[in-house]
Amino acid sequence: MRKTSLFELKPRHIVQLTVFIITLAIGLQFYLYVVQAAGEGPYTIPRPAGVEGFLPIGALMGWKQFLQTGQWDVIHPAAMVIFGFALAISLLLHKAFCGWFCPVGTLSEWMWKIGRRLFGKNIELPAWLDYPLMGVKYLLLGFFLWIILTMSTGSISAFINSPYYKISDVKMLRFFTHMTLTTGIVLVILAVGSLFIKNFWCRYLCPYGALTGLFSLFSPTKIRRNSETCTDCGQCSKVCPHRIDVQTKGTIINPECSGCMDCVDTCPAKGTLSFNFRLLKFRKTCSTKTVGGIIAIICIGLIYTATLTGHWQSQLPKSEFRNILTQIDSPLISHPGL
């Protein structure tokens, strides 16, 4: 099997790197915004709405409220846009949000590749342990869905308008800037696990990925194998980061497949593996450049449209944000409960 460079810049890697850098920039800008808000001077740094991408639970609540009442969450509206983008991409391009866009997924991928470079290989857990652990993320997803789906419309509205939710983005920031010993230990465990096991977080623990994976099962886009031209070399199965036995499948219908297309790129028999969109009589084979372009166009288009229509920037007054920020350690700003 051809040994690839750790940071080989194929179209997918370019998209991943771009999104990761933008995410770091958003994090830094938000940190500076919060520091400025904690003072008494005027605001000179705008709040980056993209930070709300790390509030998926709030986004779920926002979508339930919208579907029931038609009211858009004006406190963290971008969270709903980004969450909707993730599900739309997963439905259209078979979980490509995880394999192409998600910055946590990108970091996870880099970690196991670094681990492989350092130690020569990655660990594959035996099936008797691997499959039960894969179920953890679905249990977490079920837990969150159960809580939100059983909440009344009034309860969701009360939560969205609570002081805690209004400053939940800062609470998320403080998860890193005011790290506890427990948080540090958990992050170290995740980092070590990610070095040795491919996509440790994504494979076993990410409820977001569990949801996008379920959506991807209904995607008209799938990895497909032409058995007539296949040479049975097995390279596709070896290179798959999700341990899918691609060489024995005709069509990959698996919630773990992230649409990374590494198997397609590795296949020595040109045209044997392809990323195909099939809906009714329409057929289209997607190249990596096509997938990257579609993701970029949809992402930019959604953000631009949401900005024009007032569904992107938070409408929480800066004065109220600053006032709540001064009380962030108060019991009054604790989680209101569900």
The per-residue pLDDT string of the chain (338 residues; one tens digit each, 9 = 90 and over) reads: 444 455 567 899 999 999 999 999 999 999 999 999 998 888 899 999 999 999 999 999 999 999 999 999 999 999 999 999 999 999 999 999 999 999 999 999 999 999 999 999 999 999 999 999 999 999 999 999 999 999 999 999 999 999 999 999 999 999 889 989 999 999 999 999 999 999 999 999 999 999 999 999 999 999 999 999 999 999 999 999 999 999 999 999 999 999 999 999 999 998 899 999 998 788 899 999 999 999 999 999 999 999 999 999 999 999 999 999 999 988 877 776 64
CATH top-level class of 220-286? alpha beta
Q: Where does the chain hold its CATH 3.30.70 domain(s)? A: 220-286
C-beta separation of 100 from 291 below 8 A = yes
Instruction: Enter the DSSP assignment of 184.
Output: H
Write out the two tokens for 198. 């491919």
pLDDT, residue 8, reads 65
pLDDT, residue 280, reads 77
pLDDT, residue 338, reads 47
How far is the C-alpha of 190 from the C-alpha of 170, rounded, in Å? 23
Closest CA to 273 of 283, 282, 285: 285
HSE-CB at 230 with a 13 A cutoff on CA atoms is: 20
Q: Which residues of 254-278 are buried (b: 16+ CB within 10 A; e: fewer)?
A: bbbbbbbbbbbbbbeeeebbbbebe
pLDDT, residue 3, reads 47
Can you name the residues that pair with 282 across neighbouring β-strands? 279
Q: Euclidean distance between the first and final Cα of the chain, in Å? A: 51
How far is the C-alpha of 35 from the C-alpha of 174, rounded, in Å? 12
pLDDT, residue 337, reads 60
pLDDT, residue 4, reads 47
- Which three-class secondary structure state does DSSP give residue 169? helix
Write out the two tokens for 96. 């490509």
Task: Give Cα 286 to chain centroid, integer Å.
Answer: 22
pLDDT, residue 330, reads 84
pLDDT, residue 6, reads 52
User: β-pairing, 282-286 with 221-225?
Assistant: unpaired
Closest CA to 207 of 106, 102, 292: 102
Pairs from 279-286 (Cβ < 8 Å, separation ≥ 24): 279/220, 286/93, 286/221
Amino acid at 145: L
Write out the two tokens for 95. 């979980």
Angle formed at CA 25 by CA 321 and CA 62, multiple of 5 degrees: 50
How far is the C-alpha of 48 from the C-alpha of 39, rounded, in Å? 18
pLDDT, residue 2, reads 45
